[in-house]
Amino acid sequence: GITRHYKFNIRLQNVTRLCHTKSMVTVNGKFPGPRIVAREGDRVLIKVVNHVSNNITIHWHGIRQLQSGWADGPAYVTQCPIQSGQTYVYNYTIIGQRGTLWWHAHVSWLRASVYGPIVIFPKHNVPYPFPKPDKEVPIMFGEWWNADPEAVISQALQTGGGPNVSDAYTINGFPGPLYNCSAHETYKLKVKPGKTYLLRIINSALNDDLFFSIANHTLTIVEADASYVKPFQTDILFITPGQTTNVLLKTKPLSHNATTFFMTARPYFTGQGTFDNSTVAGVLQYENDSSNITNLPLPTLPPINGTSFVANFTSKFRSLANSQYPANVPQTVDKHFFFTVGLGTHPCPKNQTCQGPNNSSKFAASINNISLVLPTTAFLQAYFFGKSNGVYTTDFPVTPLMPFNYTGTPPNNTIVTNGTKLVVLPYNTTVELVMQDTSILGAESHPLHLHGFNFFIVGQGFGNFDAKNDPAKFNLVDPVERNTVGVPSGGWVAIRFLADNPGVWFMHCHFDVHLSWGLRMAWVVLDGKLPSQKLPPPPADLPKC
Ligand code: C2O
């Protein structure tokens, strides 16, 4: 591989959407941000210079960061933030991965405006395992607030309530013509007839799972989270925040009277409370067509609470699992974990009146009833320099503190405790983790993202996980390999991974509101014996807290 250099200047930029102009934190003034392009095996150096007053870090979502945990990016987990005026060079090599990933800010809600695609081509002379596309196009979904998202989340955390929902969804930064004052801000994909396009679809929305479709066109899914899958066709795609999906789009033949078609995305939501249920539209426009885009038919999408579509769609994903791209599913398990994921509340202190939900002091979210509190240093530094004392303990529970029947009425006492407990895994531990949605404050899908690893989704289902009978049905042959999985609304998912990457690795719900409320934990993976199994020391420019 070669070395590729990028420079990310973090600076403010005025951006106008929905007739609201605001000053946003951006990379190089771009919204969405610039594309990182590399080949499997390349080293990537990204020099990030912070010219704004906010602290910032950048996470390379889905990059495995083998032996390069210092470049992973989540604030207070692998590094202290890059403060105003400071610089940090992210330095990593892309090993054994090709496909679509993405990068985003990993502090507070700055990723609302600080995000962009990562495109990894296969090694030279290695073809795709599907027909070569004529053109490749990133499609990034996002969310737009007329207000400053930093103010939205900080106000919510202060009052204990839910944050204001976004004002629009976006495709490549544009809300499209279904919103007021937005007709000119429409993403347009110009295409030629009879060609194959590879759409690199990324859900960078903060808080919403999305359905997506292009009117009168079928999509062939070929890759998920930078892992090839057995191709399958669909008219509608489902994607959680954090996930990426590559699809082939065949345009209509020359003879066809092809004109212009809407592509739309809107959320899937089964929880309680308010959410943004609006629709973003872009257009697929055949060359030489100049149709008026105001009366085009909209693609059909499942209902907002379309859980049966989601379950059916996600069950179709299978690893390619051939000799060139084998699925290395751990066949035996060293350590089993059962984590509940969901919402809850912090109790109202005695003799006080509280404004949070159900008279609590505030919303919370947790894993096994624990809301991880981030330190004022970074876990990885504390671990590496042997200074974990007072920063974290290693007694994260392997099962919930308060188990109950997750399909029945949740107990009144849904209290969440704050903690700084981590899990320690010896090098090369094979892990099986079952995650169960608690349905407290509403059954909801939770897109769980694991840093530093891909995992195999060996099973999923609705209701309570049945430890006696469900494991017999696990797919250990060709399960899909991902870095983000939607824990089914009112159900469970089982994943397996091999802990072959030393460092401290964040795992959290990729809904930023749940992440902010504490639906997060971290794994400490110890060094192995060989030099190639150890985490090297940090780079000299690693930011200090
Ligand atoms: Cu894409 Cu920890 O996040």
Shared domain for 104 and 162, answered yes or no, is no
Shared domain for 300 and 222, answered yes or no, is yes
Q: Is the pLDDT of residue 415 over 80?
A: no
Please give the distance, rounded to the nearest whole angstrom, from the Cα atom of residue 519 to the centre of ligand 1. Answer: 12
Percent of the chain whose predicted confidence (pLDDT) is above 70: 99
510 to 162, 202, 230: CA distances (angstroms): 16, 13, 26
Question: Which of 54-58, 90-94, 95-99, 403-407 is least confident?
Answer: 403-407
Indicate which CATH number applies to the domain containing 51.
Answer: 2.60.40.420
Write down the mean pLDDT value for the chain. Answer: 95
Q: Which residues line ligand 1 (CB under 6 A)?
A: 59, 61, 74, 104, 106, 242, 449, 451, 506, 508, 510
Mean per-residue pLDDT, 75-85:
98
Instruction: Dihedral sign for Cα 117, 118, 124, 127, please.
Output: negative
Q: Is residue 544 part of a domain?
A: no
Q: Is residue 541 part of a domain?
A: no
Q: Please tell me which residue, 513 or 356, carries the higher pLDDT value.
A: 513
Q: Which atom of ligand 1 is nearest to the CA of 111?
A: 1
Q: Is the pLDDT of residue 306 over 70?
A: yes
What pTM value is reported for the model? 0.97
Mind listing the pLDDT tens digit for each residue in 460-479?
999 999 999 999 999 999 99
Q: How many structural domains compose the chain?
A: 3
Q: Which atom of ligand 1 is nearest to the CA of 61?
A: 1
Going by alpha carbons, the residue nearest to atom 1 of ligand 1 is 61
Please answer whether residues 499 and 476 qualify as being in contact, where contact means their C-beta atoms are separated by less than 8 angstroms. no
Please give the distance, rounded to the nearest whole angstrom, from the Cα atom of residue 241 to the centre of ligand 1. Answer: 9
Shared domain for 93 and 197, answered yes or no, is no
Going by alpha carbons, the residue nearest to atom 3 of ligand 1 is 61
Q: Is the pLDDT of residue 358 over 80?
A: no
Please give the distance, rounded to the nearest whole angstrom, from the Cα atom of residue 312 to the centre of ligand 1. Answer: 26
Shared domain for 405 and 442, answered yes or no, is yes
pLDDT of residue 405: 87
Mind listing the pLDDT tens digit for each residue in 138-152?
999 999 999 999 999
Shared domain for 409 and 301, answered yes or no, is no
Structural domain containing residue 209: 130-319
Q: Is residue 392 part of a domain?
A: yes
pLDDT of residue 442: 79
- The residue whose two tokens read 């749940």 is 514
Percent of the chain whose predicted confidence (pLDDT) is above 90: 86
Shared domain for 178 and 261, answered yes or no, is yes
Q: Please tell me which residue, 411 or 223, carries the higher pLDDT value.
A: 223
Please count the other Cβ atoms lying within 10 Å of the Cβ belonging to residue 154.
15
Sheet strands (E) in 258-301: 260-268, 280-286
Single-letter residue type at 130: F
Shared domain for 136 and 270, answered yes or no, is yes
- Among residues 128, 148, 176, the one where a domain terminates is 128
- Among residues 128, 150, 183, the one where a domain terminates is 128
Mean per-residue pLDDT, 316-329:
97
Question: In 237-377, which residue ranges form alpha helices assigned H by DSSP?
Answer: 307-314
- Angle, CA of 7, 12 and 14, to the nearest 5°: 125
Rg of the chain on CA atoms, in Å:
22
Q: Is residue 326 part of a domain?
A: no
Indicate the length of the chain as a whole number: 545
Please give the distance, rounded to the nearest whole angstrom, from the Cα atom of residue 293 to the centre of ligand 1. Answer: 36
Shared domain for 188 and 74, answered yes or no, is no
ipTM summary value: 0.99
pLDDT of residue 502: 98
Single-letter residue type at 303: P
Please report which helix (H) or strand (E) contains residue 494, including its range: strand 491-499
pLDDT of residue 413: 64
Question: Which of 315-324, 369-378, 440-449 is least confident?
Answer: 440-449
Q: Is the pLDDT of residue 103 over 80?
A: yes
Token pair listed for 535? 């985490």
Q: Is the pLDDT of residue 412 over 70?
A: no
